[in-house]
Amino acid sequence: MSSNTAGTEEKSHSTAELSWLMRLLIVIEKVGNKLPHPFWLFLSLAVIVMALSAIFSATGLSAVNPATDETVSVTNLFSTESLREIVAGATDNFVTFPPLGLVIIVLLGVAVAEQSGLIAAMLRGTIAGASPKWITFIVALAGTASSIASDASYMIMIPLGGLAFKAVGRNPLLGCVVAYAATSGGYSAAPMVNSLDTILGGLSTSAAHIIDDSYTVSPVANFYFNFVSMFVVAAAVTLMTELVLTKRADQLELDPEDENDPENFDVTMALEPKEKRGLAVAVIGIVACAAILFFLALPADSFLRDESGSFGPESGLMAGIAGIIGVGFFLVGIVYGYATGSIRKTGDIPDMMSRGLLPFVPVIVLFFAASQFLALFTMSNLGEILAIKGAEFFGSLNTGTFVILLGGWLLTALGAMFLTSGSGLWTLMAPVLVPMFMLLSISPETTQALYRIGDSTTNIISPMSPYFVLVLGFIQRYRKDAGIGTLLSFTIPLSFAMFVFWGLLFFIWWATGIPWGPGATTSYQMG
Calculate mean pLDDT across residues 463-471.
Answer: 71
User: What's the pLDDT score for residue 164?
Assistant: 81
pLDDT, mean over the chain:
81
Tens-digit pLDDT profile for residues 393-418: 776 777 788 888 988 888 888 877 76
When mean pLDDT is compared across 191-205, 323-337, 440-454, the lowest value belongs to 191-205
Q: How confident is the model at residue 1 (pLDDT cuts 50, 70, 90)?
A: very low
Pick from 153, 116, 103: which is nearest to 332 by CA? Answer: 116
Asked if residue 67 has pLDDT above 70, the reply is no
Least confident range of 46-55, 329-338, 386-395:
386-395
Q: Residue 1 domain-assigned?
A: no
Which of these ranges, 99-103, 197-201, 465-469, 484-488, has the smallest mean pLDDT?
465-469
Task: Of 69-78, 141-150, 328-337, give the lowest mean pLDDT range.
Answer: 141-150
Give the mean pLDDT of 478-488.
78
Count of domains observed in the chain: 1
Residue predicted with more confidence, 267 or 475: 475
Domain annotation covers residue 24:
yes
**In terms of residue numbers, what domain contains 314?**
12-60+73-512
Confidence of residue 5 (pLDDT cuts 50, 70, 90): very low
How high is the pLDDT of residue 505?
A: 95
What percentage of the chain has pLDDT greater than the value 90?
Answer: 28
Type of residue found at 187? Y
Mean per-residue pLDDT, 32-36:
62
Q: According to the model, what pLDDT value does residue 111 have?
A: 86
Q: What is the dihedral of CA 242, 245, 248, 254, to 10 degrees?
A: -90
Residue 498: predicted pLDDT? 92
**129: pLDDT confidence band, cut at 50, 70 and 90?**
low
Judged by average pLDDT, the poorest of 200-204, 244-248, 283-287, 481-485 is 481-485
Reply yes or no on whether the pLDDT at 387 is more than 80.
Answer: no
Give the pTM: 0.70
Instruction: Look at residue 356 in the predicted model and tell me its pLDDT.
Output: 80
Looking at mean pLDDT, say which of 192-196, 289-293, 422-426 comes out highest. 289-293
Of residues 177, 184, 181, 180, the one with CA closest to residue 246? 177
Cβ atoms within 10 Å, residue 267 = 14
HEC sequence for 191-259 = CCCCHHHHHHHHHHHHHHCCCCCCCCCCCCCCHHHHHHHHHHHHHHHHHHHHHHHHHHHHCCCCCCCCC
* Residue 301: CB atoms within 10 Å: 7
Q: Is the pLDDT of residue 449 over 70?
A: yes
Q: Tell me the pLDDT tens digit for each residue of 80-90.
A: 999 999 999 99
User: pLDDT digit string (tens) for 100-119?
Assistant: 877 788 778 888 988 898 87
Sign, CA dihedral 125-128-129-132, equals positive
Instruction: Flag whether 291 is in a domain.
Output: yes
pLDDT of residue 19: 55
Res 262: pLDDT: 38
DSSP 313-341: TTSHHHHTHHHHHHHHHHHHHHHHHHHHT
Share above pLDDT 70 across residues of the chain, in percent, rounded to a whole number: 85
Mean pLDDT, residues 465-487 taken together: 76
The answer on pLDDT for 176 being more than 70 is yes
**Band (224; pLDDT cuts 50, 70, 90):** very high
409 located within any domain: yes
pLDDT of residue 266: 47
Q: Confirm whether 520 is domain-assigned.
A: no
C-alpha R_g of the chain: 24
pLDDT exceeds 70 at position 438: yes
Q: What is the mean pLDDT of residues 134-148?
A: 85
pLDDT at 510 over 60: yes
Average pLDDT score over residue span 322-339: 89
Q: Tell me: pLDDT of 428 over 60.
A: yes
Does residue 316 register a pLDDT over 80? yes
pLDDT of residue 10: 44
Mean pLDDT, residues 360-382 taken together: 83
4 lies in a domain?
Answer: no
State the first-to-last Cα distance of the chain, in angstroms, to the nearest integer: 73
Q: Measuring CA to CA, which residue among 110, 104, 186, 87 is closest to residue 142?
A: 186
Within 10 A of 140 (CB to CB), how many other CB atoms are there? 32
The pLDDT, as a whole number, for residue 448 is 94
Beta bridge partners of 71: 64
Q: Please, which pLDDT band fits residue 124 given cuts at 50, 70 and 90? A: confident
In a domain, 352, yes or no: yes
* pLDDT at residue 27 tops 70: no
| pLDDT above 60: residue 324 | yes
pLDDT tens digits along 236-285? 999 999 988 888 787 777 767 655 443 444 455 578 889 889 999 999 99
The verdict on residue 67 lying in a domain is no
pLDDT at 76 over 60: yes
